[in-house]
Structure 1
Amino acid sequence: MAKSQILFMVILTVFLVTMNEFGRRVGNRQRTSEAAGDDTTGLVIGSVLGLLAFVLAFNLSAATSRNADRLASAMGEANAIGTAWLQAKAIGGADGEAVASALGDYLGARQIFAGSRRHDPAIDEADARTNELQTVIWDHVSTIVAERKDPAAASLMNAVNNTFDATTEMRFAMGFIMPPQLVWLLLGMNLVGMGAVGYKFGLAGRSNRLVAVSLSILWCVVTTEIIDLGSGRIWSFRTDVRTYIWALESIGQKPTDLPG
């Protein structure tokens, strides 16, 4: 299920429909004219559905926030690399050009890292390439700083350091997955809510299986999208890498064509 969004949605829908049917049968067994019109039962079911709505809204807000963090981290990293590249070109010389060239390759590796799907081997390759280039870049920057004591050299060192910090931040943002506690809470509330709806149908003596299936599919889609949006790249959702593409184009390099 961690690798297949469709499989997760199918299994969740089956569980929701099954829970609705179970609740309906329990309601049928307890159905009386008094129970069907009991305000207490309606109040409890309404409270359960209200709590479900709150849990959905809370998780959607958290997922949206995490997505905004990833976008901000991507923009921050691309901008930091671009700034370091400009300063390296301004420094000039053999070491300055070497730093600029390595930063161009570095930017390409970061685009692949940010835009690849989960479990794609390209992610590990991009990470390995990132670590390798960081060593190369810092060796040249160290040489520049040792030979030059002017503000330009110090500024380049700070820019490169900011680039590495931005990369660490991006790695953390992309590695984030919704906490299991929140996921289980979301799934549990969906099941309880669907069971409550089925129980109410049973008390009223109504089947409404088409309504139950439709509602199950709707809740399943919303839940799946929340989990997908809140995690770095667990399923189909991917972080926008246009900032890396623009940065690569601005320094005259061709972006990598990532698979759709």
Structure 2
Amino acid sequence: MMLYLLDHPVDLFVMVVVVLLLAHEFGFRLRAWAKNRDDNDWEKEVHQARNQVGLLLSLLIGFTLSMALNRFDERKQLVIDEANAIGTAYLRAGMQAESMRSDAQELLRDYVDARLAIFGRTTEIDEHGVEVKRARQIQDQLWKQATSAAQQTPTPIVGLYVSALNDVIDLDAKRVAARRNRVPPDIWALMTVLAVVTSLIIGYGQRRRAALLTFVPVFTVAISMSLIADLDSPVHGLIQVSQQSMQLLSDDLHKQFSAQLNQE
């Protein structure tokens, strides 16, 4: 259930609002049973406890938001890096002998399309999926070609192409790892506990019902947690890493290929 909510920020927002409102109501009812509820010193202690727990919650939310934002920026940068790496490999493939130039460039065009199919989906990556198998197959074909060319003609031009192809393959692993790098569940659990405790103490410290004091803290925490989940989720949510760089590269490579065919 928790993993589902972390991948669906809208549902998480609704759940957090409901839980925190229940905690607030429970705290408010507890105050009615307190014997010293009219004691000013006791009330000051309640407010101090509320401020201390609320401050800790605020710091944890800020820390977690920073973590999620860094992971989001990393995934976004890796899309640009992979597009640049594939584009560089494509250009260097064009410098090779005709025996491998056309095949390598065709495979790289197919590889871009396969990568778009993998990371453009709104589901988790299936390691046994058709797109993943196709991408791995293309990697193997490209590397076998490059290895054969390096053994037969170990020139600096071939070496440059091999280096670029190695970067392409490395970025595959980096993007998969970045997609799986999420905010640890322990942090989510601690943030949830602090949010519930804070809402309970706020309700406990209220002498009378006040919509502003009830809903503003609840919605603030719920929005913050939903935003963190949205940034942290690589699949669902409103904020997603754009694949525009890869899409532009795919369009450009196919246009170049079409132009070459027209010239011939």
Query: For residue 45 of structure 1, what is the aligned residue in structure 2?
Result: 50
AA paired with 1:157? V
2:21 matches 1:17? yes
Q: Which amino acid aligns with 1:251?
A: L
Tell whether 2:139 aligns with 1:134: yes
Q: Unmatched 5+ residue regions in structure 1?
A: 255-260
Report matched runs for 1:1-260 at 5 Å. 1=1, 2=4, 4-30=8-34, 32-35=37-40, 38-119=43-124, 124-201=129-206, 205-209=207-211, 211-252=213-254
> Any unmatched runs of 5+ in structure 2?
257-264
Deviations 1:190-242 (A, max 9, x none): 111111111111xxx21125642443233212201102212333544321111
Residue 206 of structure 1 aligns to a residue whose secondary structure is coil
Asked whether the equivalents of residues 114 and 135 of structure 2 are also in contact (C-alpha less than 8 Å), the reply is yes
Pairwise CA distance, 1:35: 4.2
TM-score by length of 2: 0.86
Distance 1:25 1:209, change over 3 A: farther
Distance in 2 between the 1:185 and 1:115 partners? 32
TM-score (normalised: structure 1): 0.87
**How many residues matched?**
251
| Deviation sequence 1:41-86 (CA, Å, 0-9, x none) | 2211111111111111111111111111111211111111111011
CA distance in 1, matches of 2:80, 2:153: 31
Letter in structure 1 aligned against 2:196: L
Greater shift, 35-44 or 58-67, is seen at 35-44
8 Å CA contact retained: 1:228, 1:235: yes
**How many Å separate the matches in 1 of 2:169 and 2:176?**
11
Aligned counterparts of 1:160 and 1:186: Cα–Cα separation in 2: 43
Q: Provide the identity percentage.
A: 21
What amino acid maps onto 1:100 in structure 2?
Answer: Q
